[in-house]
Amino acid sequence: MSLAPTTLADARDRVRTLLADVQPHLDRVDDRLRVELSSQHPMIDRVLQHGVRLGGKRLRPALVLLAGEATGGVTEGHVTLATVMEMIHTATLVHDDVLDEASLRRHEDTVNARWGNETSVLLGDFLFSHAFTLASTLGDAGLCRAIGKATNTVCEGELRQTLSGGDTALSEADYFAIIEAKTAALCACCCELGARWSGAEEATVGRLSRFGMALGVAFQIADDLLDLVATEAGAGKTVGADLAKRKLTLPVIHARDSLVNGPRQSLLGLLEKGDNASRRRVVEHLESVGAFGYAQQQAERYADLAAAELEGLPPSPAVDSLRAMARFSVRRSA
């Protein structure tokens, strides 16, 4: 299959090349994060600064900045919005790690592994509320509303996913609805904000928003694939969490719908058990019906849809970078 795991360092290098144009602005986002997430209380400061380092690739701020660059140029407001969106994303990561009981994220201890679940829950809440406060400093209640709504959609998607944990009958349509809500809505919002803050026309805002939505879906399918096939050393995070949580993802759903009789019963039995030890046997079932190839194909289809939305924009290096990000979203290891 084409999703050959590379090392995390390779992936980071590739992202760096992609984002060379906006790297100075991304550095400003990092600076803003460090300043905003500091506290006069040393214990809190340590937790916040650890939180800053968990975000990793800065995909979401890059979307805000590139959408801004593609529609007129990056301003200080774009940097603020990029910081807000990274803070919200980090909040969801911190809470995800509580839910997944994960101990490793980007080769760093997760917050819950180091300080316990209580601190993780509160750190996530701190990040959410700080993000909304920072967003409101721009003085535009419409942007606050867009950010609040996207975040609320993420939460609703995560709730649907959690409440359907263990549901081995989850349909492919439900899977797509869930990942659109829990991942793609925030990517769409990043692109929308970048374009809106540049004062772009509604048609352009719509195109970039749809680009972000499609890219987010592609990205999540690839991420779910990784959880099944990656090694912890390569991915830099705990893998196999989805099966352990009995959370069905696209390759598993496709295999369940493709297999019949004995093999189907065998797969369902392994899914019911949900133990990480069954991962290799589940993977064998998935390979037997080409489920990884199917999921990879779907991810690429969404990446193509994302790229197609960019055709309506005036050509620019920023648009080239966005196109490259869509391609990269389905060929990555972490």
CB of 294 to a second copy, least distance (A): 27
What are the helix and strand counts (H, E) for the chain?
A: 18, 2
Q: Which of 20, 141, 233, 277 binds a second copy (CB under 8 A)?
A: 141
- Rule CB under 8 A: is residue 301 a binding residue for a second copy? no
- Rule CB under 8 A: is residue 52 a binding residue for a second copy? no
Interface segment toward a second copy; rule CB under 8 A; list 142-150, 220-228, 264-272, 287-295: 142-150
CB of 31 to a second copy, least distance (A): 20
- Rule CB under 8 A: is residue 107 a binding residue for a second copy? no
Nearest to 56 by CA among 306, 235, 249: 235
CB of 111 to a second copy, least distance (A): 11
- Rule CB under 8 A: is residue 154 a binding residue for a second copy? yes
**Residue in the structure block whose two tokens are 């970039």:** 208
Interface segment toward a second copy; rule CB under 8 A; list 1-9, 118-126, 186-194, 302-310: 118-126
Q: Which of 13, 27, 31, 125 binds a second copy (CB under 8 A)?
A: 125
- Rule CB under 8 A: is residue 151 a binding residue for a second copy? yes
Widest CA span in the chain: 62
195-198 long-range Cβ contacts below 8 angstroms, 24+ apart: 195/67, 195/68, 195/70, 195/71, 196/143, 196/146, 197/68, 197/75, 197/77, 197/78, 197/81, 197/138, 197/143, 198/67, 198/68, 198/71, 198/72, 198/73, 198/75, 198/78
CB of 197 to a second copy, least distance (A): 14
Query: Is the backbone of residue 41 left (phi > 0), alpha (psi -120 to 50) or beta?
Result: beta
61's tokens:
């701020």
Q: Which of 71, 83, 90, 119 binds a second copy (CB under 8 A)?
A: 119
- Rule CB under 8 A: is residue 163 a binding residue for a second copy? yes
Nearest to 34 by CA among 18, 19, 48: 48
135 versus 200: smaller Cβ distance to a second copy:
135
CB of 58 to a second copy, least distance (A): 22
119's tokens:
């601190």
CB of 153 to a second copy, least distance (A): 9
Please give the Cα distance from 147 to 162 (Å, whole number). Answer: 23
Please give the Cα distance from 254 to 53 (Å, whole number). Answer: 36
Q: Which of 132, 263, 264, 305 binds a second copy (CB under 8 A)?
A: 132
199's tokens:
């004062």
Q: Which of 104, 113, 144, 324 binds a second copy (CB under 8 A)?
A: 144
Please give the Cα distance from 135 to 122 (Å, whole number). Answer: 20
Residues contributing to the site for a second copy (CB under 8 A): 39, 41, 43-44, 47, 91-92, 95, 98-99, 115, 117-119, 121-126, 128-130, 132-142, 144-145, 147-149, 151-152, 154-156, 158-160, 162-165
